Amino acid sequence: MKQESLVVRCLPFLHWTKTYNKTTLLDDVIAALVITMMLIPQSLAYSLLAGLPPQLGLYASILPLLAYAFFGSSGPLSVGPFAITSIMTATALGTAFPTSGGMDSLSGANYLAGAVMLAIMSGSFLLAFGVFRLGFLTNFISFPVVTGFISASALVIASSQFGNLLGININTSSFFGVLSSTIQNVNELNKYTLLIGLCSFLFLFYIPKLLNLAILKLTGSTYLSETLSKTAPLLAMLLSIIAVIVLDLDKNGVTTVGAIPTGLPLISMPDWHAMDWEIDTWKSLISSALLISIVGFVSSLSAAQSFAAQQRQRINPNKEAIALAMSNLSSGFSGAFPVSASLSRSAVNFKAGAKTPAASAFTALGIAISCLFLTPYLYYLPVATLAAMILVAVLSLFDLKAIKRTWRFNPKDFSALLITMVFTLISGVEWGLISGVLLSIGLHLYRSSHPYVAVLGRVPTTEHFRNIERHDVITHPEVISFRIDASLYFANARFLEDKVNELVSSNPDAKHLVLMCYSINDIDASALESLFEINHYLKDANMKFHLSEVKGPILDKLKRSNFLDQMTGNLYLSHYQAWTDLIENKPKT
Which of 389, 423, 444 is the last residue before a domain boundary? 444
CA distance 27 to 302: 23
**Residue 185 placed within a domain:** yes
Predicted pLDDT of residue 283: 93
Number of domains in the chain: 2
Helices (H), 311-342: 317-333
Residues 409 and 518 occupy one common structural domain: no
In a domain, 6, yes or no: no
Mean pLDDT of 32-56: 92
The long-range contacts involving 412-419, CB below 8 angstroms and separated by at least 24 positions, are 412/443, 413/142, 413/144, 413/443, 414/144, 416/142, 416/144, 416/145, 416/148, 416/440, 416/443, 417/144, 417/145, 417/147, 417/148, 418/148, 419/148
User: What pLDDT sits at residue 16?
Assistant: 75
Q: Please work out, in degrees rounded to the nearest 5, the angle formed at the alpha carbon of residue 205 by the alpha carbons of 204 and 209.
A: 100
The whole-angstrom separation of Cα 301 and Cα 139 is: 11
Does residue 152 contact residue 432 with C-beta atoms inside 8 Å?
yes
Q: Is residue 291 domain-shared with residue 269, that is, in the same domain? A: yes
Q: Is residue 13 part of a domain?
A: no
Q: Cβ(126)–Cβ(297) under 8 Å?
A: yes
Is the pLDDT assigned to residue 71 strictly greater than 50?
yes
Of the candidates 391, 421, 444, which is a domain's last residue? 444
Residue 373, amino acid: F
Mean pLDDT across 184-198:
92
Domain assignment present for residue 55? The answer is yes
12 domain residue, yes or no: no
CA distances from 459 to 375, 468, 475, 496 (A): 76, 9, 9, 25
Instruction: State the pLDDT at residue 9.
Output: 63
> What is this structure's pTM?
0.82
Whether residue 184 lies inside any domain: the answer is yes
Any domain includes 17: no
Indicate whether 104 pLDDT > 60: no
Q: 241 and 332 share a domain? A: yes
List, in order, residues 6 or more apart from 525 with CB less than 8 Å away.
none
* 381, 414, 444 - which closes a domain: 444
Q: Are residues 513 and 435 in the same domain?
A: no
Question: Which neighbouring-strand residues pair with 548?
Answer: 516, 572
* 405/463 same-domain check: no
On whether both 432 and 477 belong to a single domain, the answer is no
Shared-domain flag, residues 523 and 422: no
Domain range for residue 127? 26-444
User: For residue 265, what are the contacts with CB-CB under 8 A and spacing of at least 6?
Assistant: 59, 62, 63, 334, 335, 336, 371
Q: What is the mean pLDDT of the chain?
A: 88
Same-domain pairing of 422 and 486: no
- Which position has the higher pLDDT, 15 or 52? 52
Both 410 and 462 in one domain: the answer is no
In this structure, what CATH number is given to the domain that contains residue 493? Answer: 3.30.750.24
Q: Are strands 79-80 and 340-341 parallel, antiparallel or unpaired?
A: antiparallel
Specify the pLDDT at position 272.
74
Distance CA 104, CA 272 (A): 19
Q: Does the pLDDT value for residue 6 go beyond 60?
A: no
State whether 317 and 425 are in the same domain: yes
Summarised one tens digit per residue, pLDDT across range 365-378 is 999 999 999 999 99
Asked if 413 and 536 sit in the same domain, the reply is: no
The answer to whether residue 16 is domain-embedded is: no
Mean pLDDT of 383-389: 93
Mean pLDDT computed over 477-501: 94
> Phi-psi category of 484—alpha, beta or left, where left has phi over 0 and alpha has psi -120 to 50?
beta
Based on the fold, state whether residues 431 and 458 are members of the same structural domain.
Answer: no
